[in-house]
Structure 1
Amino acid sequence: MNMSRFILCISLLVIALLSSGCANGKQQEPVAPEIPWQESTDSSCSYFYFLWGSNAEYDERYDEALEAYEKASICDPDADYIAEKIPVLLIQLGRLEEAAAWLEKYIAGRPDKTVQRFILARLRILEGKEDEAIQIYREALEVEPDNANIQLRLGLLHGKKGEFEVAENIFKAILEKDRNSYFALLYLARLYTENNELDKAEQRYLEALQLNWSKELSYEIADFYNLRKQFDKARQVYEDVLKKDERDEGAALGMVQTYLFLEEAEAALEELTRLRQFSNNPDKIDLVRSQILINLGENEAAKKILTFLVKEKALSQANYLLGVILYDESDFEEAIKVLQRVEPGAPEYRDSIMLQVRILEESDKSEQSIKLLQNALEDEQTRLPSFYSWLASIYQQHDNMEKALETLAEGIVVYENDESLLYEYGILQEKTGNHELAMQLMEKILVLNHNHADALNFIGYSWADDNINLQKAYEYIGRALELKPDSGYILDSMGWVYYRLGAFDKAETELLKAAELEPEDPYIYEHLGDTYRALNDKEKALHYYRKSLEYLTDDQKSTTIQNKINTLDDHS
C-alpha cells in the first residue's frame, strides 16, 4: 500500500475517535477512504471501517454498522473478526435469508473456517432446520475432528431432538478422550435426567461438581434432589454452599424450600430469620415468613407482619395474603376491603379478584360477584381470559346457560386462540346438546396444540361412544393417557374404547383403575357394569350398576341404569 493512502487512513481514524473535532460548533463527518476493489488486502482501511462499524453497533445503529463491516470486508476479505460480525448483524436485523446466503458463500470459499459454520448452524436451528444444523456440525468435525466444542454442540442438538442414544454416545466419546470435560459431564447428567435415568444423572452431576464447583451447579443438583424427593441430600447441598458463604441468599431460600418439603416449618422460619439479618430484600423474606405462619395457623403473627408491610411498603402481595387470613377468619367485609387494594397489573390481581368472587358467592351476593367480573372485563387493563370462565361458571350455577354461552363466546372473540376458553365453550356446547359444534371446537384446540390431553380425550371418547372411528379413537385416547397417565376420566375412555373393540378383559383393567381414581363417578360404574355383563359376570354387573345409581343425579340416566338392572334380574 502506498504511503499517502496509509496516512489518509490514519488521519481518518483520529477524526473518527475524537468526538471534539468540530468546525463552527458542528461535528464534521469523517471522509471515508476509497475502497480498493482489487483482490489485495488493505488492513488499515479494513481496520478503519471495522472501528466505524463497532462504534455504530455500540450505538445500536445496526444498518450503518453492517455497511461499515461490509466495506471492511472488501478491504480485507480474509479478516475473520469481520466475517464473524456481518452475519450476526444480518440475523439481528431479521435478514435471515441474507445471513444464510452470506455464510454459505463464505464457507464455500473457505471450507476450513468453523466459526462461520457455528453461526450458520445456529441460524438453521432458529429456522427449525435441526437436521441441516446437524449436517453443518458434522462437516465442521471433518475439518476439526478433535474439536470438543463442536462435538458438544452436536450432542446437545441430538438431545434436543430426542435422539438420546446418539447424544449419549457423543458425550461419552468426549469423556473417553478427556475425563475432565466439565460440559460433557454436565450435559450427560441433564440428558440422563430427561430420560429418567436418575442414578446415572446423579453420578455425572457429582463428577461435574467435584471437577468444577460452583453455586449455580449446586443449585441445579439440589433441584434435582428435590424433584426426586431426596430432601436430605438437597439440604446437604445447600449446607455446603452456605459453609462457603453463609450470606448466599439463593442457598438460604433453597434451604427454606427444602425444610418445607420436609415439613419442618419451624426450621424454615429460623433460617428465614437468620437470612433477614443481611438480606438486601427483607420485605420478600417477611412475605415468605407470613406465608409459612399462615400455613401453621399462626394468623395473628402473620397479620402483624403483613399489616406492617401494607402500611409501610404498600405491597400488593401483603394485601392479598392479609385478605386470605381475613377470609379464613370469616371477616368477609374487611377481606373485601383489603383485596380491593390490590392494583391491576400486580401479580396477585387475578387471585384477589377470584377470592373476592368466592367471598361474594359464599355470602349469597351473586349480583355483586357478576358485577365485579363484568367491570373487570370492560377494561383492557384488567381483562383476563379466566374472568370470562368464572363469570360463565356463575351463570351455570344459576342455571342461566344462555348467559354462560354468551359470556364464553365473547371471551373467544377477544382471546380467539385461548385453549382454556375454547375447551370450556366446547364442554358447555356439549352439555346444551350441540355435539357437532363441541367437536369442531375440540378440533380447533388440537390445531393450536396437538398435545391437549382433554381435547384428545373428548374426541376419542365421543367416537367410542358413537361406536365409530374406533382405531383412531384408541390412538387419540392413548396420546391423552400418555400426557395425563393418572386421569381417571381418560382411563375410563380407554376402558370404553376397549369395550367397543370387544377387548373386555382390557376394558375391565382400565375401568377398575379409573374407578379407583374417581370413586364417585357414576358413568365409570355404568361402564364397568356393561363390561361385566359382556363377560357374563351378572353379579358384578349388577353390583356396579347399583353403584352407578348411588351417584347419579340425572333422572333420565337413572332410568336407563334401572332398566339395565331390571333386564338382568328378569333373566335370573
Structure 2
Amino acid sequence: MKRYFWLAILVLLATSCAGAIAPPELKVKQERAPEAVPEEESADTECSYFYFLWGNTAAANGTLDEAQESYEKALVCDPAADGVMRRLASLLVRMGKQHEAITWMEKVIALHPADNESRFWLAQIYAMMNRYEEAVVTYQAILTDDPANLDAMLYLGALHASKREYEKAREMLEQLVRLDDQSFGGHKYLARLYREMRLFDKAAVAYNQALELGWSVPLALEAGEVLEQQGRLEESIALYQQVLDEDETNDQARQRLVGLFLQADRADAALAELEELRRSSTEPYKIDFTIGRILLDSGRLDEAIAKFNSILAVDQGQDGARYMLALGRLKNKERGKAKEQLLKIPADAKMYEEAITLLVRILLDEKDYAAMEQVLKARLEAPATRKPRFYALLASVYHQQGKNDQGKEVFRLGLAAFPGDANLMFEYGIFLDSTGDHEAALAKMEEVLKIEPDHAVALNFLGYTWADHGVNLDKALEYIQRAVTLRPEDGFIRDSLGWVFFKMGQFERARQELEAALALAPDDPTLNEHLGDALRAVGATEKARGQYERALALFGEEESKEKVRNKIKELAP
C-alpha cells in the first residue's frame, strides 16, 4: 500500500476518535495562567468574551476571516485566554493556515506544559503538514508523561506506519492491544498494518477481533480481501454474504462474490449474483457481457450466443459482444456465422486486430490459404486498416505454403511501414529461425534490443539460443537474468535461466531454477526434460527418471519422445 493510506488514517483519527484526540472543548469561562502574564498587564475578560462569542457566530456562519479577526481581538483583550487560542488554532486549520495554528498551540502549551490534550492537537497539526519528526517527538513526550496513554499509542503507531517504519508501528500498536484488548482502533489499525506487511494470518486475526468489537461493512470488506489473499474462499464468501445481509445494495461485496464463485467453479452462483447486480446497474450491457462470457466458458453455448445477440439487438456498436458472439459460434461449430460476425467488426474497434487474427486462424484450420491472403492483403492496402501484426500473419501464411521469400518480402514492407516496431522485428526473427536461418534470426533479435532494450522475449530468445549452443554463456546469463527481472512469473524464461546454469556446469543452481520454472509451467514437456537433466547431473537418478517419464507422456512428436526414451535407458538401473 501507499504511504497516503496511513496519512488518511491520521486524518480520520483526528475526526473520528475519542474526544481526547480532538481539540479540547472550550470552556465558557476562559482558562488563563496569571503567572505567565506580566503583573502590569491587565486582562479585560468581558471584552475578550464579547469577541469570542462574535468569533463563534462568524465561524458558524462560514465567515472565517471575520471569525479569525474576532478571536484575535479577544486575545488582545486577554492575551492569556488559552481557550480562545485553541479555538483560533482550530479555525486556522480549517482555513488551511496550519503554520499560524501551530504558533497558537505552542503558546497554549507554554502556558500549560502538562496539557496533553493540547499536545495531541499540536501533534496532529504537525502530521497534517508532513512535519513527521516533530509530530513523533510530541507524541513521545506525551507517552513519557503518561506511558499508558492509549490514544498517543494509536496516533504514534499510525504515524510510524505512514513513514513505512513498520516495525516501530507494529511495536506501538501491539503494545496498545496488550494494554487494552478491547481497543477497536488498535485492532483495526494493527490489522491494516499486518496486511501492509503481508502478514496475512495475523491480519485476519486482527480483523476478526476488530469486527467483533465494531462490525461495519467497510471493515468487513477489508477483512474479506485478506481472506481472499490467503485463499480462504469459503470464509471470504461467508463474510461477503454477511455484508449483503447488512446492505443488500453493496455492489462491491456482490462483485467480489462473483469472482470467488468463479474460482470455486460455482458458475450458477456467480450468475445469480450478476443478475442481482444487473437490477441496479446503470450499464446493464456490461453485466450481460460478463454473464455471456461465463456462459461461454461454462460450455453453455446456446445461452451465451443468445446473451450476446441480445446485447447487439440493443446496440450494434458493441464490438466486444460481437467478437464473443463469433467465439461462441466457432465453439458451436458454426464457422460461417463466426466469420460473418468477425468481418463486421470495424477497423476503429478495440477488438479489430483480435477479430482479424481469429478470422485468419479459422481460415488456417480450413487450409484456405487463398482466403487468408485475400483478407490480409485487403487490410494492408489502406493505412486505416493496416496493422503490424497483419504483416506477420501474412508472412506466416506464406511460410505455411513454403513461400519463404515472399514471407521475407512481407516483413520488409512491414518494417518499412512501421520502422520502429520492436514486436514486428521480433516476429521477423522468429520467422527467420523457423526457416533455418538461425544467424539472421539472432541478428534480428539484436535489432529488437536496439529498439527496445527491455524486450524480455528477445532477451530470452538470444540468451537461450546461446546457452543451448554452449556459446556466449556469460552474456546469455546476463540477458536471461534481465528477462527474468522483467517477467518473473514466466516459467519459460525461468527455464532459460536454469538451462544456462546447466550449460555453465552449475548443476545445483540449475536444478533450483528449473524446479521454479516447472512450478510456473508444469505441463511443458521441455521443462520437464530439462529438470530431468539437472537432477541426473546432481545424482538424483530416480527423480530424474520421474521427470523424463513425465516429459515422455507430454511430448507429442515422435522425435522428441525417442530422445527422452534414450535418456531413460542411459540411467543406471
State the TM-score, normalized to the length of structure 1.
0.69
Contact 2:158 2:169 in 1 (8 A): no
Structure 1 counterpart of 2:407: 366
- 2:447 is matched with which residue? 410
Q: SS of the residue aligned with 1:73?
A: helix
Name the counterpart of 1:333.
Answer: 374
The CA distance in 1 between the partners of 2:139 and 2:474, in whole Å, is 56
Which of residues 459, 477, 482 in structure 1 aligns to 2:519? Answer: 482
Secondary structure at 2:523 match in 1: coil
Please state whether the residue corresponding to 2:453 is helix, strand or coil. Answer: coil
Q: Where in structure 1 are there 5+ consecutive unaligned residues? A: 20-29, 54-67, 91-98, 537-572
Find 1:101's aligned residue among 123, 130, 133: 133
Alignment counterpart, residue 430 of structure 1, candidates 447, 467, 473: 467
1:246-304 residue CA offsets vs partner (Å, 9 max, x unmatched): 97444333321221122223212333444567779856545544554455465665676
Percent identity between the aligned chains?
Answer: 12
Aligned CA distance change for structure 1 residues 149 and 318 (closer, same or farther; 3 Å) = farther
- After superposing the two structures, state which structure 1 stretch, 447-456 or 354-363, moved more: 447-456
Instruction: Give the whole-Å Cα distance in 2 for the aligned partners of 1:46 and 1:280.
Output: 61
* Equivalent in 184, 190, 204 of residue 148 of structure 1: 184
* Mapped contact 1:120–1:133 kept (Cα < 8 A): yes
Judge conservation of contact 1:319–1:338 (CA < 8 Å) in 2.
Answer: no
Equivalent residue runs for 1:35-46 within 5 Å? 40=82, 42-43=85-86, 45-46=88-89
Q: Deviations over 1:514-535 (max 9, x none)?
A: 2222243756754553444333
Whichever residue aligns with residue 46 of structure 1, its letter is: A
The 8 Å contact of residues 290 and 303 in structure 1, kept in 2 or not, is answered as yes
Post-superposition offset of 1:218: 1.5
Distance in 1 between the 2:334 and 2:440 partners? 42
**Correspondence list, 1:170-569, <5 A:** 170-174=206-210, 180=215, 182=217, 186-187=221-222, 189-213=224-248, 214-242=250-278, 248-275=284-311, 282=318, 285-286=321-322, 288-293=324-329, 296=332, 310=346, 314-318=348-352, 321=355, 324-325=358-359, 328-329=362-363, 330-338=371-379, 352-363=387-398, 364=403, 365-375=406-416, 378-379=419-420, 383=421, 385-430=422-467, 433-446=471-484, 453-464=491-502, 468-520=505-557, 525-526=562-563, 528-536=565-573
Q: Distance in 1 between matches of 2:380 and 2:397?
A: 16
- Does the CA-based 8 Å contact 2:335-2:362 persist in structure 1? no
**Structure with the greater relative contact order (CA < 8 A, sep ≥ 6): 1 or 2?**
2
AA of the residue aligned to 1:332: E
What is the distance in 2 between the residues matched to 1:249 and 1:7? 61
State whether residues 372 and 397 of structure 2, in contact with CA within 8 Å, keep that contact through their aligned partners in structure 1: no
Counterpart Cα distance in 2 of 1:318 and 1:456: 33
Distance in 1, matches of 2:174 and 2:81, equals: 32
1:38 Cα deviation from its structure 2 partner = 9.5
Q: Following the alignment from structure 1 to structure 2, what is the Cα–Cα distance between the partners of residues 389 and 38? A: 77
Which residue identity lines up with residue 355 of structure 2 in the other structure? Answer: L
Compute the displacement of 1:393 (Å).
1.3
Task: State the AA in 2 paired with 1:317.
Answer: M
Q: Give the drift of 1:426.
A: 0.8
Contact 2:491 2:516 in 1 (8 A): yes
Partner of 2:112: none
Q: Which piece of structure 1 moves more, 505-514 or 491-500? A: 491-500
Classify 1:500/1:75 alpha carbon distance in 2 versus 1 (closer, same or farther; 3 Å). same
Once the two structures are superposed, the pairs formed by residues 48-87 of structure 1 within 5 Å of their partners are 49-53=92-96, 68-76=97-105, 78=118, 87=127
1:415 Cα deviation from its structure 2 partner:
3.0
Equivalent position of 2:3 in the other structure: none
CA shift, 1:370, in A, is 1.8
Contact kept? 1:320, 1:339, Cα under 8 Å: no
C-alpha distance after superposition, 1:301-321 (max 9, x if no partner): 56766666639xx43534752
- Give the letter aligned to residue 434 of structure 1: N
Paired residue for 2:114?
Answer: none
Q: What residue number does 2:159 align with?
A: 120
What residue identity is the alignment partner of 2:266? Q
Q: What amino acid maps onto 1:480 in structure 2?
A: A
* 3-state secondary structure, aligned to 1:76: helix
Name the amino acid aligned to 1:357.
Answer: A
Q: For residue 223 of structure 1, report the CA deviation from its aligned partner.
A: 1.3
Aligned to 1:94: none
- Give the whole-Å Cα distance in 2 for the aligned partners of 1:192 and 1:51: 39
1 CA distance for matches of 2:129 and 2:413? 50
Measure how far apart 1:49 and its partner are. Answer: 3.7
Q: Is the 8 A contact 2:277 2:287 kept in 1?
A: yes
Q: Deviation of residue 166 (structure 1)?
A: 2.6
TM-aligned CA distance change 1:263 to 1:493, over 3 Å: same
Q: CA RMSD in A?
A: 4.6
Residues 323 and 455 of structure 1: CA distance in aligned 2, closer, same or farther (over 3 Å): closer
CA separation in 1, counterparts of 2:430 and 2:198?
A: 41
**Counterpart Cα distance in 2 of 1:501 and 1:399:** 34
Contact 1:461 1:473 in 2 (8 A): yes
Structure 2 letter corresponding to 1:101: E
Measured in 1, the distance between the counterparts of 2:353 and 2:486 equals: 37
Are the aligned partners of 2:119 and 2:142 in contact in 1 as well (CA < 8 Å)? Answer: no
- Gap regions ≥5 residues in structure 2: 1-29, 31-43, 107-117, 144-150, 364-370
Judged with a 3 Å threshold, the aligned counterparts in structure 2 of structure 1 residues 529 and 396 are, in CA distance, closer, same or farther, namely: closer
Look up the SS of the partner of 1:271 in the other structure: helix
- TM-score, structure 2 as length reference: 0.68
Equivalent pairs, count: 486
Q: For residues 359 and 566 of structure 2, what CA distance do their matches in structure 1 show?
A: 47
Q: 1:331 to 1:426 in 2, by over 3 A?
A: closer
Q: Which moved more, 1:366-375 or 1:77-86?
A: 77-86
Mapped partners of 1:146, 1:327: distance in 2:
63
The separation in 1 between residues aligned to 2:283 and 2:487, in whole angstroms, is 44
